[in-house]
Structure 1
Amino acid sequence: MNNNILIIGRVTDEMIKDIQLLELNVILITSEQEVNLVRDRDVLLDLLVFDYTQLDQLMNSSRILLKKYGIQAAFSFSEEALFNTAFIAEFFNLKGNDIDSVRKTQNKYLMRRILANHKEFSLPYKLVKTIDDIGSFVEENGKSVLKPIGAYASKGVIEVNKGENYNNALKYTNCYGSEILIEKYIYGRSFSIDILSLNGSHDILVILERKISEAPYYVTTAYTNDFDLSKETLGLIKDYCFKILNTLNIQQGISHIEIKLENNQPKLIELQMRPGGRMHKIITYVSGEKILPKYIASVLDMPYSFVPVDNKVSVFFFYSNVKGCIISVKGINNILSNKSVVFLTSKMKIGTQINRIQSTKDRLGYFIHCKRNMENQSKKCYKEGLYLLNQLEIEVESI
């Protein structure tokens, strides 16, 4: 058996290096917009750059690569490439992404229909096309959320409530998809759970609390595992997530599940078959575990071990609710000089045009604030990270 695998979609240098801990040869297909994320291209067995969302072209290229190198698996860790990668894996009989799981989870309406047969997962929902559809649903169910059935990264997600301008909300969501789902709003604290599944067996990698931007848009602005939930509640979350995966017959892959705790009962918001945004990095700092090599090794039935590190992590995304042009940024050095800050990336440059945060694409960067041996520092990691974030000053010139 050769050690060649195919990866399709958005990856970074760090992700490639993690995968190469398994001593695998990586063939990468990525887009022109994403190729610069991989600077050390000498470590790749081969690199192709084109629009991988075009399935015909991807099929032809994969066929040639398979003939040239022999490939045992195909993987993707980005929404844009998930379905086509799963299609490639199934068509060429490769290990990797499961097409049925990807199909069900990338179509929010289909997923809700499957789950609606089980009372514990039921939530009022409906496909809507007109403002009258929206109005009647909101009249019956109260505050609700519009979302395109196939979008991701919070694109097109917007809150609607009684007495509001439904027309503007509908136009906004329509920009990201013609088929629109409305769901009853779920109240409560928000959490994300990343799970590794193999042959129907599930293993929780990490549970993090999510901090969300202000309505009407819902974008994660921070993750933290510095939260106060009882063992009983954590057990409820675990059982709930595993039941969702079993109900959807998800046997294999990495699942990113978002829930809210409403009256201390978990309620599903979202599910995707990939690690949540930047989660591969966050999981490493929380558990000491590198998620991508663990997943790939499990699929390929390869030995892989790790030494857990006792970490606690808060992750904060920089953002601004003011539309305009950045004219000054202050406080970055204060964040970087803190010894507990283990990573920082920023798109905040003078002259950059920014918008009010509406999707994850509008976030201006993030830093990871990490503390070890948190038993004696309960609830300090999040507060310390928030203090650092508040030292950041972004001045914009209104447009």
Structure 2
Amino acid sequence: MSIKTVAFVEPSFYGVSFARIAYEQGHKVISIVSSTDNPQKYGYEGIYHDLIIADIRDEESLYQAIQASPYAGQLDALIPATDYASHLTARVAERLGLQGIPYEAALKARNKDLARQAYAEHGVPSAKFKKVKTYEEALAASISIGFPVVLKPTNAASSQNVYFIHDEADLKAAFEVIVEFKVTYMDFKVRDEYLIEEYLEGPEFSVELFLSDGIPLFHTVTEKLTSPLPYFVELVHTLPAPSYREHQDDLIRTAAGALHAIGIVDGPSHVEVKLTANGPRIIEVNGRPGGDHISSDLLLQAFGVDIFEATVNYYLNRPIHIERKHERAAAIAYVTADREGVFESIDGFAALQAHPHIVRTHLISQPGQAVGIAKSSDDRLGYFILTADTAQEAKQLALELLGKLQVVYRQQEAGIA
């Protein structure tokens, strides 16, 4: 295999797996970053060859930084390694004549209102929605759609400022908060337009797909368990989904239809779907491998499938082979606080490492950190990943072990209020 020069825009979270795979394949890995501190911050020191500094929030800055670098005209692939820069990366890749998801498709995937419009235009089952800017518009939209509804930003992620709205009082309180949400991860600006959406009742799934000319080369369904309302924090992922097996073909068809609607017909995707009484309904589409360790761990543990390797090959316009090497199941479970307090530890967490089904544990929060009820993915305290022979066993074991863990809060010191 010939060595290629592969550039990644701001590897972080799921995107670190991209850099690792390309590095292990022997390619020259270039990271385009907003700060030289980011390899250490996001955990990919030692798996890249060079850095290019750019404002990753600006298309022209990305383009000019590449053109001014030693790699001008030398890149074989330019890959978005963070959601927020995916559309900008797509635009720059087009300007450089490199393969990738079309800019318009990436833009729709990043902006939930544009995606909802595309679903409606193509007859993809989705949620009723209205885009709003003011509280008055939000109230009118909520009354039109009918309470309960969901209020969310149009271009954020990780359940940041996503609210279940039961009535007008809920809406007023949530809207006062969401309009102050100006900047999200990596200093990307949050649009001052919001969505009021129909609340979809039913179990939640994600469909992991890899398309080639619109046809799935690979597909599987992940079952999600989320936190109690009014929040939507993902707490357990089980792959493959143990429940509602008779509906999985419908879930996959609906997910593929949503991708076609926004213009994604090649490469990896992670599509979130709810199974309502009226069938599958799209929550959102992501034109990249699933995060939350679904792609980096669960797919590998359950099937031996490396979506990141296939994705690097897609961006390099190389043949793609995705083969299931085995058939078992995997799950990840997240620990969250049950109240506000100062975090001390998770009782029983360290002992998990000795469990025969546990693959890995990771503590996110540190002693002394203020914690509270999880409102977004950022508020989770730690996780563990496990495997089992069947999906039902994986899910049951994840819930059983999660139920035995106890968050320990630091006691107030005597004399301190």
TM-score w.r.t. length of structure 1:
0.90
- Contact residue 13 and residue 37 of structure 1 kept, 8 A: no
Secondary structure of residue in 2 paired with 1:322? coil
Distance 1:383 1:75, change over 3 A: same
Q: Does 1:287 find its partner at 2:303?
A: yes
Distance 1:144 1:295, change over 3 A: same
Where 2:157 maps in the other structure, the secondary structure is coil
Whether contact under 8 Å (2:101, 2:264) holds in the other structure is no
Matches within 5 A, 1:1-399: 3-11=4-12, 14-32=17-35, 34-36=38-40, 41-48=45-52, 51-65=55-69, 67=71, 70-140=74-144, 141-176=146-181, 177=190, 178-225=192-239, 226-231=241-246, 233-263=247-277, 265-277=279-291, 278-281=293-296, 282-303=298-319, 305=321, 308-372=325-389, 374=390, 379-397=392-410
Report Cα offsets for 1:27-59 as digits up to 9, x if no partner.
Answer: 112344642156564442212355422434322
> 1:208 Cα deviation (Å)?
0.5
- Aligned residue type for 1:270: E
Q: Which runs of no fewer than 5 residues in structure 2 stay unpaired?
A: 182-189
Distance 1:169 1:192 in 2: 27
The one-letter amino acid paired with 1:181 is L
Q: CA separation in 2, counterparts of 1:84 and 1:117?
A: 25
Task: Supply the distance in 2 between the matched residues of 1:150 and 1:304 (Cα, whole angstroms).
Answer: 31
Residues 303, 324 of structure 2: 8 Å contact kept: no
Closer, same or farther: CA 54–299 of 1 in aligned 2, 3 Å:
closer
Question: How far off its partner does 1:310 sit?
Answer: 2.0
Query: Bigger shift: 282-291 or 246-255?
Result: 246-255
> Residue 223 of structure 2 contacts residue 243 of structure 2 at CA under 8 Å; is this kept in 1?
no
Residue 71 of structure 1 aligns to which amino acid in structure 2? L
In 1: Cα distance, 2:85 partner to 2:260 partner? 24
The SS at the match of 1:94 is coil
Q: Which moved more, 1:187-196 or 1:353-362?
A: 353-362
**Gap regions ≥5 residues in structure 1:** none
**AA of the residue aligned to 1:166:** L
Q: State the AA in 2 paired with 1:76.
A: P
For 1:223 and 1:350, locate their aligned partners in 2 and report how far apart those are by CA, in whole Å: 26
Contact 2:6 2:22 in 1 (8 A): no
- The amino acid that maps onto 1:354 is V
Quote the Cα distance in structure 2 between the aligned partners of 1:13 and 1:312.
23
Secondary structure, aligned partner of 2:69: helix
Of 195-204 and 325-334, deviating more is 195-204
Q: Relative to structure 1, is the Cα distance of residues 321 and 79 closer, same or farther in structure 2, using a 3 angstrom cutoff?
A: farther
Q: How much identity, in percent, do the aligned residues show?
A: 22
TM-score by length of structure 2 reads: 0.86
What is the letter of the counterpart of residue 394 of structure 1? V
Residue identity matched to 2:11: R
- SS, match of residue 230 in structure 2: coil
Counterpart contact for 1:334–1:388, Cα < 8 Å: no
Give 3-state SS (helix, strand or coil) of 1:95's partner. coil
Cα 1:266–1:116 shift into 2, 3 Å: same
Residue pair 2:9, 2:85 contacting (<8 A) in 1 also: yes
TM-aligned CA distance change 1:200 to 1:379, over 3 Å? closer
Structure 2 CA distance for partners of 1:144 and 1:93, relative to 1, 3 Å: same
Distance (Å, rounded) in 2 between the aligned partners of 1:66 and 1:215: 51
Shift of 1:190: 0.3
Structure 2 Cα separation of the partners of residues 186 and 55 of structure 1:
36
Q: Do the aligned residues in 1 keep the contact of 2:343 with 2:407 (CA within 8 Å)?
A: yes
Shift of the 13–139 alpha-carbon distance from structure 1 to 2, 3 Å rule, reads closer
Give CA deviations for 1:332-375 in whole Å, capped at 9, x if unaligned: 12211112111222123211122321111222232111113x2x
Does the 8 A contact of 2:159 with 2:376 survive in 1?
Answer: yes
